[in-house]
Amino acid sequence: MALLLVLVTVMALVLIIGTLWETCQPGWEESDLGRVRYKAGLLAESGFALAMHPDIEPGDVALRQGFGPEQEIRVLITSEGGRIPVNRLTDERWRVALVELFVLWGMDAATASIATESLADWIDDDNEVLSNGAENAFYSSLDRPEFPANLPFTSLEQMLFVQGMDEVARFQPMWRNYFTIHSDGLLDLNAAEWEAIVAVTGTTQDSALNFVAVRNGDDGIRGTIDDYQFIDMGEVQALLGLSENEYAEIADLISLDSTVIRIESEGRYGDFKETRVLLATESGNGWSPLARFRN
């Protein structure tokens, strides 16, 4: 009888311990995930210190470092000017370029025009509706009488409230990678994607792809030490096949050196990665941060 009681007691304890283990396991796993994510975030943050060192150039080998098999930092220094400055859509030339970009993504011209002009109506300071745009009457019919803001965008997420942006997101889920609210208002051709180059300059797709290939250097990888930095706009004009008149039309929309740098720092700890982004402008005392966020 005593042996039976001992066996029953042991079985009961095993059941209790097993239940406690199963109950606590999710909490322990969540705690472990939090620690790993925190460590990956610290690695990503340390990448900013590397990138902002005065002796570091874009593509420097020091921007990619491993600390054993578990930890790694990868940093990309580029230009925020490689993105479309959405708050400049009051300029018709930027609207024409944006319609072209959306068409390159597969949208028809009419739908592309609705999204583009609605974005412009959102940021202009009047209630006059562009031919394919949307002002307060449209949003009020959707029970959104507070829209549009008639102010510049302060975040890219606000763009999702604009008529037609749901279609843009459907055709290009990564649309955020093509827009900015922090650049100097010009498209930096040394950092722009080929689609943006085609849209803004009016060059052909083949010319834009060739331009990007030259820019990326022999290894064909963006952000490495062999990247080619264009400094002569005449060389750019020739490579893109632009006539004098074509270049004159867009000369004040493009640049080769943005005043806003973009630092993307990825920290890896084990299988987990965290990416942080820092936007900054150069000042007399180094770099002045404009914004920082997770990517």
pLDDT higher for 52 or 276? Answer: 276
Look-up: residue for tokens 């002796």? Answer: 55
Q: Provide the residue range defining the domain that includes 77.
A: 61-82+258-295
Residues 210 and 65 in one domain: no
Residues 243 and 284 in one domain: no
CATH number of the domain that residue 202 is part of: 1.10.40.60
Q: What is the pLDDT of residue 166?
A: 97
Helix extents (H) in the chain: 2-51, 92-104, 109-123, 136-140, 165-171, 194-201, 205-215, 233-240, 244-250
Contact yes or no for 76/225 (Cβ under 8 A): no
Residue 55 lies in a domain: no
Q: What is the pLDDT of residue 28?
A: 44
pTM for this model (two decimals): 0.85
The answer to whether residue 58 scores a pLDDT higher than 90 is no
Contact yes or no for 111/142 (Cβ under 8 A): no
pLDDT higher for 191 or 4? Answer: 191
Residue 117 lies in a domain: yes
The answer to whether residue 149 scores a pLDDT higher than 60 is yes
Contact yes or no for 117/161 (Cβ under 8 A): no
Residues 238 and 132 in one domain: yes
Residues 246 and 295 in one domain: no
CA 292 from chain center: how many Å? 12
Residue 40 lies in a domain: no
Q: What is the pLDDT of residue 144?
A: 94
Q: Average the pLDDT over 131-147 and give the result.
A: 95
Residues 166 and 272 in one domain: no
Residue 208 lies in a domain: yes
Q: What is the pLDDT of residue 8?
A: 55
Q: Average the pLDDT over 255-260 and give the result.
A: 94
Residue 90 lies in a domain: yes
Q: Average the pLDDT over 188-207 and give the result.
A: 97
Q: How many CB atoms lie within 10 A of CB 193?
A: 17
Of 170-179, 184-193, 250-259, 280-289, the poorest mean pLDDT is in 280-289
Residue 26 lies in a domain: no
Helix extents (H) in 52-108: 92-104
Closest to 187 in 3D by CA, of 260, 90, 266, 284: 260
pLDDT higher for 13 or 129? Answer: 129
In angstroms, rounded to a whole number, what is the distance separating the alpha carbons of residues 218 and 221?
Answer: 8
Confidence of residue 123 (pLDDT cuts 50, 70, 90): very high
- The total domain count for the chain is 2
Which SS3 state, helix, strand or coil, does residue 118 take?
Answer: helix
Residues 172 and 74 in one domain: no
Q: What is the pLDDT of residue 223?
A: 86
Residues 163 and 289 in one domain: no
Q: How far apart are the first and last CA of the chain?
A: 66
The answer to whether residue 25 scores a pLDDT higher than 70 is no
% of residues, the chain, pLDDT over 70 = 88
Token pair of 284 as six digits: 């007399």
Residues 147 and 75 in one domain: no
Residue 36 lies in a domain: no
Q: What is the pLDDT of residue 37?
A: 87
Token pair of 44 as six digits: 């990503």
Q: Which helix (H) or strand (E) holds 67?
A: strand 64-67
In angstroms, rounded to a whole number, what is the distance separating the alpha carbons of residues 17 and 144?
Answer: 55
The answer to whether residue 214 scores a pLDDT higher than 90 is yes
The answer to whether residue 159 scores a pLDDT higher than 60 is yes
Residue 291 lies in a domain: yes
Residues 100 and 217 in one domain: yes
Strand ranges across the sheet with 71-79: 64-67, 71-79, 260-269, 272-283, 286-294
Residues 136 and 250 in one domain: yes
Residues 98 and 147 in one domain: yes
Of 38-52, 93-107, 181-195, 206-220, the poorest mean pLDDT is in 38-52
Token pair of 150 as six digits: 């008639």
Q: What is the pLDDT of residue 176?
A: 96
The answer to whether residue 185 scores a pLDDT higher than 90 is yes
CATH number of the domain that residue 268 is part of: 3.10.450
Pairing of strands 272-283, 260-269: antiparallel
Residues 147 and 192 in one domain: yes
